Chain A
Amino acid sequence: MRKKNFYKKKAFELRQKLLSLVIENGGHLSTSLSCLDIMVALYYGKIIRFKASAPNWINRDRFLISKGHAETITYLTLKELGFISETMLSKHYRKGKFKLGGHIDCSVPGIEFSTGSLGHGLNLACGTALGLKKKKNKSFTFVLMSDGECTEGTVWEAAIFAKFHKLNNLIAIIDYNNISATDFTKNFTSNTNLVDKFKSFGWKTFSVDGHNIDQMIKKFNKIKSQNLSSPVLILAKTIKGKGIKFIENDPARHTKGLNNNEIKKAKKILKLL
């Protein structure tokens, strides 16, 4: 049993470390802040079974990060959990020997597949989940996607495949922040009601507050314990840039970094000054 406010404190601590890392090494800040609480729920809430000392442990739950641009929070979390060393992150993330680059790479312990081009993760997860079923391995396959990537046609090829093959060991989580690379999704696509879309493809769907860690853990545990017959879609409603108020919900912040004044401002918000 975790202490009260454990997750909230852990998430705040990760936000602080994330900001420091981005200031030192660069990275995708706003998208990382968007899915940071989901990562805390999955890893620290013990939803995903893993062994940092044995990343390829056969009975681990497979966790695929389809939104490969969330590498900053992913690598930071893997460091916190002991998959990679402090030196690896501080010296080689986006600098030094670039052992950790600007998108997710499968050579890093704890990473299942390389991603960065969107619309691959759910398909890879389908193959993984089908493989586990065929082997009668009870592990789950989780995949974290972005809502922006759901304009890729491959997502829907996977949605069809997963339902047909009854991949009830597949849990897809969409970081639903309503923002893609440069704009709000509603401004360029009709493909925004993703719960209805996945439901119509035969998936079991749920919605959660992607920043309410306790609620997410409860929901994830409930889903894992149910004997479902379909793949599961969890729409996690999030805010891009969550935790640093002045960058929240700003499409430009997907790529735009912080200037010196903004760094000070962000540090104050996250109590680093």
Chain B
Amino acid sequence: MKNKKISDLFQRDSFISTLLEYAKKDKKILLITNDQGAIALDDYKKHLPNQFINAGISEQNIISVAAGLQKEGFNCFIYSISSFIIYRAIEQIKIDLCSMKLPVKIFGVGSGYSYAIDGPTHHSTEDIGLLNMMPYMKIYSPSDSLVVKEIVKSSLNSSEPIYVRLDREYLAPLSLKKYNLDQGYRVIKKGQKTCIITHGYMLTKAYKIAKDIKHKNIGIIDVFKIKPLNKKVVKDLSKYKNIICLEEHNENGGLGNQISNLYFKNKKNINLVKIGLKEKTIMGYGSRDHLNSLNNLDEKSVTKLLMSLK
């Protein structure tokens, strides 16, 4: 990863190279994988073989082992394909991590349809929903490698377990403006009547769409911390007539649900359109664009919707 700027890295490489930087100074940091590969991982293994564990393809064991290590004072970071580590080990996450508030950090690669053609076994389309229900679990969905770096830094001293949903594709940063990670979201672009609220991979799409229909002056909010969702987002959304939530996640259980719950709790009305993944498409194969088009998450469908809003 030498000579490469963080902004040029894939999210997983940003995670591992940032972790390496800190792990070199702290022997208690451990990186555990289920036999995953990444360019930055080779670098990490080369520099810190004693702070790396390839536990093999055994996700349930990995979560419990990490819990044991964390309790003994180590700072454990797990790297896996999201769907495997979250779905396979959901009970271990609930009991061994959340019930004991053990701050193990799970970095899962392959958010949403990242692994498109590899199919539903590799898609992480319910991960947010599952972990939204887990007490004490924090959920991040970064939209670029710069945000990933900040999450890694902030997670080092976390007192609660963390899940970070990494995209498999390279996502170029859209904004170099300073933001507060603790705020959990950032306003990418202020708009007039309609605002898109989104996270991760869909931010790039939303940005392009808004740019293409510049005259509609669409606002964009990037939520990188989905749980707990900062209540202040209500204030930023309140000036808009229409809110569109775009996410490459099952339409149940994702950010859209979090927002509607937030409004419901605050007894406020919201004109919210949730565009996520529908049940009938969850088990499908195809390119990422094809799968998204089945859910009206493609540029054409979203643009059509935005154009129809008054």
| A contacts, CB < 8 Å to B | 106, 112-117, 119-120, 123-132, 134-135, 153-154, 157-158, 160-161
Of the residues B50, B66, B91, contact of A127 by C-beta under 8 Å: B66
Known A123-B92, A129-B68; further 20 A-B contacts with Cβ < 8 A: A112-B71, A113-B68, A114-B100, A117-B91, A119-B60, A120-B92, A120-B95, A126-B61, A126-B64, A126-B68, A127-B65, A127-B67, A130-B65, A131-B71, A131-B73, A132-B72, A153-B60, A158-B61, A161-B55, A161-B65
Asked whether A123 lies within 8 Å of B61 as measured between CB atoms, the reply is yes
- B51 CB to nearest A CB, Å: 9
Kindly state whether residue B69 has any CB partner on chain A within 8 Å. yes
Determine the residue in chain B with the shortest Cβ distance to A137. Answer: B72
Asked whether B58 lies within 8 Å of A124 as measured between CB atoms, the reply is no
Asked whether A128 lies within 8 Å of B68 as measured between CB atoms, the reply is yes
Asked whether B69 lies within 8 Å of A127 as measured between CB atoms, the reply is yes
Asked whether A160 lies within 8 Å of B72 as measured between CB atoms, the reply is no
Cα-based distance from A57 to B67 in the complex (angstroms) = 19
Asked whether B61 lies within 8 Å of A157 as measured between CB atoms, the reply is yes
With A106-B100, A123-B64, A123-B65 already in contact, the answer to whether A131 and B72 are too (CB < 8 A) is yes
- Most central of A124, A128, A129 by chain B CB within 10 Å: A124
Contacts of B175 in A (CB 8 A): none
Kindly state whether residue B150 has any CB partner on chain A within 8 Å. no
Asked whether A124 lies within 8 Å of B74 as measured between CB atoms, the reply is no
- The total of chain B residues at the interface (CB under 8 A) is 23
Cα-based distance from A144 to B233 in the complex (angstroms) = 49
Asked whether B61 lies within 8 Å of A117 as measured between CB atoms, the reply is no
Contacts of B228 in A (CB 8 A): none
Asked whether B68 lies within 8 Å of A154 as measured between CB atoms, the reply is no
Asked whether B68 lies within 8 Å of A127 as measured between CB atoms, the reply is yes
Of the residues A113, A125, A129, contact of B100 by C-beta under 8 Å: A113
Asked whether A160 lies within 8 Å of B95 as measured between CB atoms, the reply is no
Asked whether B72 lies within 8 Å of A154 as measured between CB atoms, the reply is no
- B137 CB to nearest A CB, Å: 16
Of the residues A119, A126, A135, contact of B65 by C-beta under 8 Å: A126
- A95 CB to nearest B CB, Å: 22
Asked whether B91 lies within 8 Å of A123 as measured between CB atoms, the reply is no
Determine the residue in chain B with the shortest Cβ distance to A153. Answer: B60
Contacts of B74 in A (CB 8 A): 131, 134
Cα-based distance from A119 to B89 in the complex (angstroms) = 12
- Most central of A112, A120, A126 by chain B CB within 10 Å: A120
Cα-based distance from A115 to B99 in the complex (angstroms) = 10
Kindly state whether residue B135 has any CB partner on chain A within 8 Å. no
Asked whether A154 lies within 8 Å of B64 as measured between CB atoms, the reply is yes
Asked whether A120 lies within 8 Å of B96 as measured between CB atoms, the reply is yes
Chain A to chain B contacts (Cβ below 8 Å), 26 pairs: A106-B100, A112-B71, A114-B95, A117-B91, A120-B92, A120-B96, A123-B60, A123-B65, A123-B92, A126-B61, A126-B64, A127-B67, A127-B68, A127-B70, A127-B71, A128-B68, A130-B65, A130-B68, A130-B69, A131-B68, A131-B74, A132-B72, A135-B72, A154-B64, A158-B61, A161-B55
Determine the residue in chain B with the shortest Cβ distance to A122. Answer: B64
Cα-based distance from A123 to B66 in the complex (angstroms) = 9
- B95 CB to nearest A CB, Å: 6
Asked whether A161 lies within 8 Å of B58 as measured between CB atoms, the reply is yes
- Most central of A112, A117, A127, A153 by chain B CB within 10 Å: A127
Contacts of A114 in B (CB 8 A): 95, 99-100
- B56 CB to nearest A CB, Å: 7
Kindly supply a per-residue 1/0 record for chain B positions 246-286, scoring 1 wherever the CB is within 8 Å of any chain A CB and 0 otherwise. Answer: 00000000000000000000000000000000000000000
Asked whether A113 lies within 8 Å of B72 as measured between CB atoms, the reply is no
With A125-B68, A127-B66 already in contact, the answer to whether A113 and B60 are too (CB < 8 A) is no
Of the residues B58, B73, B96, contact of A160 by C-beta under 8 Å: B58
Asked whether B73 lies within 8 Å of A124 as measured between CB atoms, the reply is no
- B57 CB to nearest A CB, Å: 9
- A137 CB to nearest B CB, Å: 8
Determine the residue in chain B with the shortest Cβ distance to A155. Answer: B61
